[in-house]
Structure 1
Amino acid sequence: MLKNGQHSFKYETTWDGGRNEVGYISCGNLKTEVSIPKEMNGPGIGTNPDELLLSAAATCYLISLATMLDLSKVPAYLTLKSEGIVEVENSNLTYKEIIHHVEIALKEKSEKHIRLANRLAIKAEQTCMISKAIRGNVNVVVNCTII
């Protein structure tokens, strides 16, 4: 039984055999095929854990930033491009870094809003639930442009 204030997310999967086969995942509204990416000598069908981790980190960051801007009454349009860096060391794969390139288009451009938007772009990464979960294992970098 969940304690008050806790949320539960459910994940289910089926996998069709060995390393180079394809699975199917279902997690809430996310339903898709999954396999090892072509870059790692897999079939490259559907998504993969590397893309899912990057997507989770990027989406959490973006929602955190949008919420902070909204609560601070800084109206803006956001564009985010993120990159995940995976490194091979001694046949081991390590997710090394996630780089968020966020563009904040201010609807009301003032010095106050520019300073606040820059500060919130960094704070959003520090408070994002996924960033906190991977902190110490994956380096997360934020590059912010205000327009």
Structure 2
Amino acid sequence: MTKPEKILYTAKTHVTGGREGAARSSDGRLDVKLSLPGGPGNGTNPEQLFAAGWSACFIGAMTQVAAARKIVLPKDVSIDAEVDLGTVGGGFLLRARLIVSLPGVEPEIAREIIDGAHQTCPYSKAIRGNIDATVDLA
């Protein structure tokens, strides 16, 4: 396991009640109710939070990759994320997909940016080899 040279940020949360509870960050910026995926309740779930976090991080990674190549990403860059919660062999698993929209960027250049971001995004690194994950161009 690679040790970081420098810690840039540490997220701290407190969760109670599991999938039917609540999550709050130490700085109060995150304060959400949790509900079972597809079930009753008005809270979010870990799969939605992961989809949002990976997408936001991935856009940041694309911005860095593009800047290194002297390319400005379009302001309307977006990602549609899908995170599946499934079962296998009596246990659970995740499967995830990002569908990236880079309007006005040539497909070949967009693919280079996406591939570069997938190599540098911390979320992509964390899941690589652990879950079935794909990143496609819309």
TM-score range normalised by the length of the shorter chain: 0.7 to 0.9
Unaligned segments of structure 1, at least 5 residues: none
Whether 1:117 aligns to 2:110 is yes
Q: Which residue of 2 aligns with 1:68?
A: 65
Q: How does 1:65-144 map to 2 (within 5 A)?
A: 65-77=62-74, 78-95=77-94, 97-106=95-104, 114-144=107-137
Matched-pair contact (CA < 8 Å) for 1:11–1:27? yes
User: Is the radius of gyration larger for structure 1 or structure 2?
Assistant: 1
**Runs (4+) off by over 3 Å:** 18-21, 27-30
Q: By how many angstroms is 1:137 displaced?
A: 1.2
Matched-pair contact (CA < 8 Å) for 1:98–1:138? yes
Matched-pair contact (CA < 8 Å) for 1:34–1:45? yes
Q: Which residue of 1 aligns with 2:43?
A: 46
Seen in structure 2, the aligned counterparts of structure 1 residues 64 and 31 have a Cα distance that, compared at 3 Å, is same
Percent of paired sites with the same residue: 20
Give the whole-Å Cα distance in 1 for the aligned partners of 2:99 and 2:84. 14
Give the whole-Å Cα distance in 2 for the aligned partners of 1:99 and 1:144. 11
**Larger strand share, 1 or 2:** 1
Seen in structure 2, the aligned counterparts of structure 1 residues 133 and 27 have a Cα distance that, compared at 3 Å, is farther
Unaligned segments of structure 2, at least 5 residues: none
With structure 2 as the length reference, what TM-score do the two structures score? 0.77
Aligned Cα RMSD in Å? Answer: 2.6
Q: Which residue of 2 aligns with 1:35?
A: 34
Q: By how many angstroms is 1:100 displaced?
A: 0.9
